[in-house]
Structure 1
Amino acid sequence: MTEKSTAASDGAISSNHAQDLAINNTRFYRLFTRIALKTWGRLYKADGFCSPISRRMIVKTGPSVDLTEAATMKFISENTSIPVPKVHCSFIHKGRTYILMERIRGEEIPRAWKRLGEEGRAKMFAHLKQMIEEMRALKPPSGTGVRSCVGGSLYDSRFNRQENRFGPFTTIQEFHFWLRKEFRLADYPNPEKPSEEVRPELMHMETMQDGPWPSPVFTHADLNPCNILVRGDKIVAIIDWEFAGWYPHYWEYTSNWFGNRVRTEWQDALVQFLEPCTAAEFEMEKTRNKWWGEF
């Protein structure tokens, strides 16, 4: 996929640029998708923003759905062997995004967990690890900071922020500064606020965040077990790519660890398919989540 430049300094995608991201944006597909959603779609039960319209197709639409997600699935399908839903079309109609894509039949991991057993889960995790390693081997374009696969803004519903989308960021350090809401310990000389007890952990976090970082890696950022579909002990799809983009190398692990606090068994399983971050990186993110956390 060719790289596209962002059209505004704040990272928002202009309407012209957004239309550039549309896939198979023809009158036929636009009409077909909207009519199918209002007719056949009523025969199926919707799952969040996703509404099946047949056994083989599903439409994703909603206030936070963005063309970037469709572009990301296309990017992954063209550059890796990771199974993702095929995007038939994506477009914007009256300010609302529609993504018509393949409906892949499979079980979410929580439903398949007991059936798989230890041996089946081991095969599944080995398969998933190969996919993640392939994704992390993708090379970012020169000068890439934290941004989407098309160079634009990102989305994460777990962030407790007013803005719907954020970024892109020129550097990882700039992303970190945004994450901590532009906090600098030097701006608070009064040792009582923050207190002397918490200053060391804040200083450790800030020093690490502002230090040197290797190039970002492509990251799904929401590998919770419901976003991984299996058939037998084989993974047939990784879905819900709306959070994905180029992020610091630790982000896949920490975003999934902190994002699955109620799924402790899944937290323990992360090391079977993700490279853990260092203890220092984990403490850095633990501190950030404590003071500016989204989870």
Structure 2
Amino acid sequence: MLTTLFEGWLYIFLRPILLCNPNGNRYAPSLTAEALSDQDINDLIACSPKVDADSVYVTKLACNYPGRVSKIASDTVAKRMSTDPAQQEQLSTELVRTSTNIPVPRCGRLVKCLTSTGVYLLQQFVPGRTLHDAWPSLSWWHRFRVLLTFRYYIYQLRRMTERVGPPSFPGPPSCDGIPKYCKGRLLNSAGCGPFQSYRELARWYQNRLLVMQRFRKQGLGLAPFDSTVPLAFTHMDLHLRNLILGDDRQLWVIDWAEAGWYPSWFEAASMSMYAKSHPDSSRSWRKWIPFVAGSCDNPGQLPFIMTISYSLECMPPDIMNLIDSEQP
């Protein structure tokens, strides 16, 4: 995937057909519901409609996650989450909103859930349709504009270091300079880390390959984990349901809870793995993943992740250290 000055100039030329405003959502006003007390917000949530109540999507494991997002004002939704993911989504979303022109919802404060554990993250409500609902009926020209805009967004994410500086460590952004726990489709199902450096992340992956080779006789002769590419800001959960064609004719990106600094090929690999595990994912969308996010089929990339997938899904994040034991 091109990340050159030429591509940047090309997007300037193509600006009229991109589905985003020059400033994205950078100057969004504060949310009206933020002025309410925690008790008032909890009361509103109890009687408010769930905007994701009909968004039931089924994986191969038959996992459904509807009904977590309540519309509590004309411009505000409350998303129920665990505290750490909510804080990470809040920080990542605001980082992208203020550093790029990618339209992302403005985040408000965290509100304590008074009836059970967890918190509610207040976010800007985005009127529109998810791309999952809209894609089948789009014309070829509208689909092309969506794909080109989406490619432009990933181009911006991969150049965020020019605005905010290079990351000190992989994983979610941190406001206190301390590495955070990492979660995502390409990581351990229970989460992993924190990682103090890119090298530590690469060693974590390489160790899982050694475990698979020794105890399951899989991945013998496989190329090592590819840590030759730079870390880039990565959404880690891009799919049709996390993209909204807004009523304002912009392409919005939501759900940044798993975002962070990871090898640049992680985005395409995560998108590809999602498409393979969700039978309702559009085939006409899947074939365009390399165009919007680049290739992830090189040695040490998606083939590596697929080979060690059993260790990611079924083994704990901390397993025996074979890297140091095998060194002379």
TM bucket normalised to smaller: 0.7 to 0.9
Give the counterpart letter for 1:55 in structure 2: S
CA contact (8 A) 1:107 1:231 kept: yes
Correspondence for 2:102: 82
Alpha-carbon distance in structure 2 between the residues aligned to 1:110 and 1:34: 35
Is 1:104–2:109 an aligned residue pair?
Answer: no
Structure 1: gaps spanning 5 or more residues? 1-27
Correspondence for 2:49: 44
CA contact (8 A) 1:204 1:284 kept: yes
Bigger mean CA offset, 34-43 vs 95-104: 34-43
Give the 3-state SS of the residue equivalent to 2:171 in structure 1: coil
Bigger mean CA offset, 95-104 vs 172-181: 172-181
Give the 3-state SS of the residue equivalent to 2:222 in structure 1: helix
What is the CA distance between 1:76 and its match in structure 2? Answer: 0.6
CA contact (8 A) 1:127 1:235 kept: no
Structure 2: gaps spanning 5 or more residues? 1-32, 53-65, 315-328
What is the CA distance between 1:284 and its match in structure 2? Answer: 1.6
Alpha-carbon distance in structure 1 between the residues aligned to 2:69 and 2:39: 13
- The count of corresponding residues between Structure 1 and Structure 2 is 254
Give the counterpart letter for 2:260 in structure 1: G
Is 1:251–2:227 an aligned residue pair?
Answer: no
Aligned counterparts, 1:121-160, within 5 A: 121-139=143-161, 141-142=165-166, 144-150=168-174, 151-156=179-184
- Considering only aligned residues, what root-mean-square deviation do their CA atoms show, in Å? 3.1
For normalisation by structure 1, the TM-score amounts to 0.74
Identity of aligned residues (%): 19
Q: Which one of the candidate residues 184, 196, 218 is aligned to 1:170?
A: 196
Alpha-carbon distance in structure 2 between the residues aligned to 1:43 and 1:105: 16
Alignment CA distance shift 1:284-1:40 (3 Å): closer
Aligned counterparts, 1:56-75, within 5 A: 56-63=75-82, 65-75=85-95
Alignment CA distance shift 1:34-1:173 (3 Å): farther
Give the counterpart letter for 1:134 in structure 2: Q
Bigger mean CA offset, 81-90 vs 275-284: 275-284
CA contact (8 A) 1:149 1:246 kept: yes
CA contact (8 A) 2:104 2:253 kept: yes
Alpha-carbon distance in structure 1 between the residues aligned to 2:313 and 2:186: 5
For normalisation by structure 2, the TM-score amounts to 0.67
